[in-house]
Structure 1
Amino acid sequence: MKPAFGVLGPLLTPAGTIGATKHRILLASLLMRPGEPVSVEELTGHLWDFNPPEQPRATIQTYVRRLRKALGASVLRTAGRGYLVDVPPESVDAFQFRELVRAATGAQVTLRAELLGEALGLWRGQAFADVPSTPLRETHGVRLAQDRVQALESQFAAGLDLGHDGELVAALRATTAEHPLHEEFWAQLMLALCRGDRQAEALDVFAEASRLLAAELGAKPGPRLRELHQRILTGDTVLAPTAASRPTTVPSQLPLDIPDFVGRAELITEITGLLDAPAPVIISGPPGVGKTALAIRLGHIVRADFPDGQLYANLRGFAASPPATADQVMSQFLRGLGVPQDGIPSDHSALAALYQETLTERRVLLVLDNAASAAQVRDLLPTGARTATMITSRTELPGLPASPRFTLDVLTSAAARDLLVRMLGRAAVDRAENAAAELAELCVYLPLAIRIAAANIADHSAGIAPYVAVLRTENRVDALSVIGDEQAAVEATFDLSYQALGPAAQQLSQC
């Protein structure tokens, strides 16, 4: 989810640039404690470096009123002897950065590199770049800068473990220029060059680091650099990549996580606890209720528990195109697991045997989405105990063996409102509270319908109330579609379920 607010660079807000310097300092101070009160005394210190005007409280009240006009009254609230910014921590880039770094700790190396890359991608420049507050920079700014250096070091270490030596050289050269006194970056640059059979350049890097440290600190290189230098001089073969550090095929086929996913917290907790068992978890429910979104969200939550990869296939059980066959999916998964195309058998029995053998010793997550029947997924279920499986379907797949089954219901009214807030903004929903509630009701609390409605409102800047009037007076099913995308429509989703019925059931559904 892209953060709405940012301090990792110039101040970022949903309302765009905040022009007044003091307003930026005030908002940045509150954003470093989202959802928590910040006292007037602390804000005064950040705003005036502890040299305040005669009536700082009155001045701060003026700043707050102006910020509320820009951001919405519900964002900034009075709280006791101070103020708070009423946003979740994950909406602030600094907290999202730290959460991604935390998730990377202890993760399998490929996932670790991915998470650290995502975390460092949130940085747009120096923290608090346009927020000239010495106390704010000396507390939060310095700590964030240290966290970034540690994340960079961990990201380079993961890249070296994966054997990406040549790809890292340019980035490490830029990083040593940015942080010339951080010896670990020099060591990582030397190692990357040496592994790329560029020993002479690695020795030049040691000489450069030595000159710089002597000039800036009057010190010699530390033990890490000296040891690495000596090992290069003696041609130590340990510096070459080991078999374990060479790239391995670790598939990551999950679609992107749903950034505005809402609700289902208890269900997520329950299903997460079942993914250690060999029995597949089956998530069923009517079209548009959010089965795929839930499975994808779960997959991203537990992905660190499956270091050998995550495999995903849309089985097209209810789709306009023909359903995927077991052979097609097994071939897709085997390619994802590193089996070359010419090594994949065309014979079904041989293919199934290779598929099971390849999965046996791997800790992999399978997500089989949109299954039509038990027969479609039966051959895809792993026989080993280390692989976990999630299946989504519009039916409960009664032909499968005993498995945990969960029938997904529509959203609660609170979750439906939360979804509208995330897609349209809290201010827009607060301004049209009754219309927002009616919109959710007209969409029968189906996530798909609510998403389409919110997308139409956002695309056409129509406002919630006028769009509700259209839904109330016109054909709701026709209105809940996206122009230019016939498949992104409530009608198309339900039509596919109708087409999958037998003739007798189709006739009954028209009664």
Structure 2
Amino acid sequence: MLHIRVLGSLGADVGGKPVELGAPRQRAVLSLLIAARGSVVPVERMADELWRGAPPAKATASLHAYVSNLRRSLEPGRPPRTPATVLVTAPPGYALRLPPDSVDAWRFETWVNRARSAPAEDARQLLADALGWWHGPAFAEFTDEAWAEQEVARLTALHAEARELAVAADLNTGRPAEAIPMAELLVRASPLREEGWRLLALAQWACGRQADALSSLRRATRVLREELGCDPGPALAELEQAVLASRLDVLQASVSGPARAVPSPVPSVDEPPSPGQNLFVGRSSELRALEAAAWAARHSGGVMLVTGEAGAGKSALLGRLGGRLRSGGWRVVIGRCPEYEGAPPAWAWVELLVALAHAIPPTYPEELSVLLLKPQHVAASSRDEATAGRFRM
């Protein structure tokens, strides 16, 4: 089976073994035919493109030699004097006859087209596969050639769209924490594409980072005004209004899973706590990291360790996290380890089980001592305290 790669440096293999494609101009012949996507390219045009408008007198003979050499490399098992089936003669020139799966760029386009209409989970896998085939710019060796310009631009735009679709698929399958890093890469790579900013703000909002979402939307406005002299389109403007108004229905429409209530902001030094609320100053980045980890672990579970010197504020941080999770609809239970000689082993987990059993009575109470606990979410833990949410028994 022949496979050709143009998403990065040009390469080919037959039956899993790499083949020699020759000198630069011979490699350009193959790349030019791939860029034509199966269409016939006349000999005159090929000579003009390969020698940049000034082909030598023997250009046609050289071109025939390049084609002959490529045929031997691409079809090593073809018997002598039998017609070629891959790089074929098709008057008035040549064409490449290969199934779509044989060229990574063609396969990439097929996968992206399938992902557009596939269910979210299937789309996510299709896009992960497709993006994994990129190992550099399309037609990396020939990006400065006029004949490659249009196809490179088309594939580059399709690559940007695929990355946006992949972020959207993460959101649609309930993975906003995983979507944030990819969305940040999108806006760095293509700051004038509004979809990247929209996806970044949605992912941040879904992780409880309302302020960051608003900041991203306003950065987008600033970039567009400075670079293009225009305001953002309706999608960004409407999203900003939705975030400001805490319109969770808007969030729910783009992010799988229950929309989270937006947590109240952490009081600042100048903002006195409300009655009955302890003053909580700083640690906002740590709190956001804990919330993002909890959201990301809602399907598979997980553990986050919080460490620090005595009095550093570990309990206050976890207490604030627990309050935010409760306000977002999580079930939070706490277990503590007594600090004295001879304390029972794993006592924190015993307390967790007992508290959970009170909140959600087990089906077989007599088997509580041997109950297997399968965590659906573990939000955070420390040396003396563990906070967990939404356990399933």
TM-score when scaled to structure 1? 0.44
Counterpart contact for 2:206–2:255, Cα < 8 Å: no
Taking structure 1 as reference, are residues 215 and 16 closer, same or farther at Cα in structure 2, changes over 3 Å only? farther
Provide the C-alpha distance between the structure 2 equivalents of 1:45 and 1:206, rounded to a whole number of angstroms: 48
Match of 2:233 among 219, 222, 225: 222
2:222 maps to 1:211: yes
1: CA distance, partners of 2:164 / 2:68: 42
SS of residue paired to 1:245 = coil
How many Å apart are 1:172 and its aligned residue?
Answer: 0.7
- Compute the displacement of 1:109 (Å): 1.6
CA-based RMSD: 2.8
- Large movers: runs of 4+ above 6 Å: none
State whether residues 5 and 12 of structure 1, in contact with CA within 8 Å, keep that contact through their aligned partners in structure 2: yes
Question: Residue in 2 aligned with 1:141?
Answer: 152
Give me the whole-angstrom Cα distance separating, in 2, the residues matched to 1:31 and 1:112: 26
SS at match of 2:126: helix
> Hey, what's the Cα distance between the residues in 2 that align with 1:10 and 1:17?
13
Conservation of the 8 A alpha-carbon contact between 1:206 and 1:229: yes
Could you give the per-residue CA deviations for residues 377-415 of structure 1, whole angstroms, max 9, x where no partner exists? xxxxxxxxxxxxxxxxxxxxxxxxxxxxxxxxxxxxxxx
What is the count of residue pairs matched by the alignment?
248
Q: 2:110 aligns with which of 55, 77, 99?
A: 99
Counterpart mapping for 1:192-211 below 5 A: 192-211=203-222
Equivalence map 1:251-290=2 (5 Å):
none
Which of 189, 197, 214 is the equivalent residue of 1:178? 189
Q: Secondary structure, in 3 states, of the residue corresponding to 1:241?
A: helix
1:158 aligned onto 2:169 = yes
Measured in 1, the distance between the counterparts of 2:145 and 2:35 equals 15
Distance (Å, rounded) in 1 between the aligned partners of 2:136 and 2:232: 29
Residue 133 (structure 1) shift: 5.0
Could you say which residue in structure 1 is the equivalent of 2:91? 80
Residue equivalent to 1:354: none
% identical equivalent positions: 36
Query: What is the CA-CA distance between 1:190 and the residue it aligns to?
Result: 0.5
The answer as to whether partners of 1:101 and 1:115 remain within 8 angstroms in 2 is yes
Name the SS for the 1:221 alignment partner: coil
Tell me if the contact between 2:176 and 2:255 (Cα under 8 Å) persists in the aligned partners. Answer: no
Q: Which ranges of structure 2 fall in alignment gaps of 5 or more residues?
A: 77-83, 259-361, 364-393
Residue 142 of structure 2 aligns to a residue in which SS? coil
Q: Which moved more, 1:58-67 or 1:69-78?
A: 69-78
Which residue number in structure 1 is paired with residue 34 of structure 2? 31
Alpha-carbon offset, residue 244 of structure 1: 8.3
Q: Which amino acid aligns with 2:31?
A: A
Residue of structure 1 in register with 2:357 after alignment: none
> Structure 1: which 5+ runs fail to align?
248-341, 344-511
State yes or no: 1:112 paired with 2:126.
no
Q: TM-score, normalised by structure 2?
A: 0.57
In structure 2, C-alpha distance between the alignment counterparts of 1:202 and 1:16, rounded to whole Å: 49
User: Do 1:34 and 1:89's aligned partners in 2 also have CA atoms closer than 8 Å?
Assistant: no
Decide whether the 8 Å contact of 2:29 with 2:50 is kept in 1: yes
Deviation at 1:184, TM superposition (A): 0.6
The alpha-carbon distance between structure 1 residues 36 and 237, as it changes in their structure 2 partners (threshold 3 A), is closer
Structure whose alpha-carbon radius of gyration is higher: 2
